[in-house]
């Protein structure tokens, strides 16, 4: 459907093409696949919504008992899969994965639908035992505005601030490192969404995603996380993946090669 949008100059009208209906199954996200898909549970009932913890419960505390807290379990699982004995490394990689899922689903909804589903942590359930990408379920689709301010409130303040605080308190992960992960995850979500939109002739989706991403990177929590050139991003911190056995530096890392040694927290 075509929506007339006032242009910056008087007398000119632009046309923005979006998928208007924020449908109960968020079907438009399925076209992008992988990190972008957000599964829904209609009515908030059923075995999935009843058995998995909400992200609100997950952020509240991270006890040392892996059987009682989903976040502790996830960090332990990621560490085991990566064969690392450093909990803060596993915590950083687990954080990056969840941040990427949240940004991807949120940015894609805003760009495709022009609106967001309410991503309140109490409405999102998480399967911490799943592989990558993180398995998220939204128990109720409540439309909210799809502007940058709502994105920031929903993802930055609603999820990544409390998640980061818990990981820092439990594992000692540097705050700057975690915000670097957040910027990297947002840049990656935008890059893939832009690639998909341009390839499919959906320039209006790519343009909307760019505008939202630009506004988000102007946020005080994100504007110092790295430098951007087009869809490329170079972060000012390191996620510590180089400390994983067989790991190296990521494509957007502040390092060009793995450091020989690094004091605890220096990469944050």
List, for residues 106-147, the tens digit of each pLDDT value. 999 999 999 999 999 999 999 999 888 888 999 999 999 999
Q: DSSP secondary structure string, the chain?
A: -EEEEE-SSTT-EEEEE------TT-GGGGGT-GGG--EE-GGG-SHHHHHSPBHHHHHH---S-TTT-HHHHHHHHHHHHHT---HHHHHHHHHHHHHHHHHHHHHHHHHHHSEEE---TTTEEEETTS-SSPEEEES---EEE-SHHHHIIIIIIIIIHHHHHHHHHHH---HHHHHHHHHHHHHHHHHHHHHHHHHTT-HHHHHHHHHHHHHHHTSTTTTTSEEEETTEEEESS--SGGGSTT----TT-S-SS--S---TTTT-
Strand order, beta sheet including 135-138 = 39-40, 135-138, 124-127
Do the beta carbons of residue 4 and residue 10 sit within 8 Å?
no
Cα 213 from Cα 218, distance rounded (Å): 9
Do the beta carbons of residue 216 and residue 154 sit within 8 Å?
no
Full-model pTM: 0.86
Q: Where are the domains of the chain?
A: 19-224
Q: In this predicted structure, what is the pLDDT of residue 66?
A: 53
Do the beta carbons of residue 248 and residue 241 sit within 8 Å?
yes
Positions in the chain short of pLDDT 70: 1-20, 42-50, 61-67, 261-268
Cα 215 from Cα 213, distance rounded (Å): 5
List, for residues 171-190, the tens digit of each pLDDT value. 999 999 999 999 999 999 99
N-terminal to C-terminal alpha carbon distance within the chain? 45
Q: In this predicted structure, what is the pLDDT of residue 4?
A: 33
Helix-helix angle 161-171:87-113, to 10 degrees: 180
Cα 163 from Cα 97, distance rounded (Å): 12
Does residue 133 have a cis peptide bond before it, meaning omega lies within 30 degrees of 0? Answer: yes
Cα 149 from Cα 142, distance rounded (Å): 17
Do the beta carbons of residue 228 and residue 187 sit within 8 Å?
yes
Q: In this predicted structure, what is the pLDDT of residue 116?
A: 96
């Amino acid at each position: 459907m075509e929506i007339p949008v006032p242009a910056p100059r008087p007398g000119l009208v632009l046309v923005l093409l979006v998928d208007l209906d924020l449908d109960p199954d968020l079907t438009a996200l399925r076209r992008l696949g992988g990190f972008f898909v957000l599964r829904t549970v209609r009515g908030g009932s059923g075995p999935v919504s009843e058995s998995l913890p909400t992200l609100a419960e997950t952020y509240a505390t991270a006890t040392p008992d892996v059987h009682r807290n989903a976040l502790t379990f996830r960090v332990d699982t990621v560490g085991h899969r990566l064969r690392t004995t450093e909990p803060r490394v596993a915590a950083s990689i687990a954080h990056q994965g969840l941040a990427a899922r949240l940004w991807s689903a949120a940015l894609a909804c805003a760009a495709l639908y022009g609106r967001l589903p309410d991503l309140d942590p109490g409405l999102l359930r998480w399967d911490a035992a799943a592989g990558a990408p993180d398995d998220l379920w939204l128990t109720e689709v409540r439309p909210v505005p799809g502007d940058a301010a709502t994105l920031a409130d929903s993802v930055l303040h609603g999820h990544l601030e409390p998640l980061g605080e818990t990981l820092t308190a439990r594992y000692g992960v540097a705050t700057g490192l975690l915000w670097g992960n957040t910027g990297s995850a947002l840049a990656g979500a935008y890059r893939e969404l832009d690639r998909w939109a341009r390839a499919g002739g959906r320039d209006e989706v790519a343009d909307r995603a760019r505008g939202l991403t630009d506004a988000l990177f102007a946020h005080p929590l994100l504007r110092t996380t790295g430098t951007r050139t087009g869809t490329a991003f170079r972060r000012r911190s390191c996620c510590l993946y180089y400390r994983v056995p067989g790991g190296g530096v990521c494509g957007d890392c502040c390092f060009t090669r793995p450091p020989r040694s690094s004091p605890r927290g220096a990469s944050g």
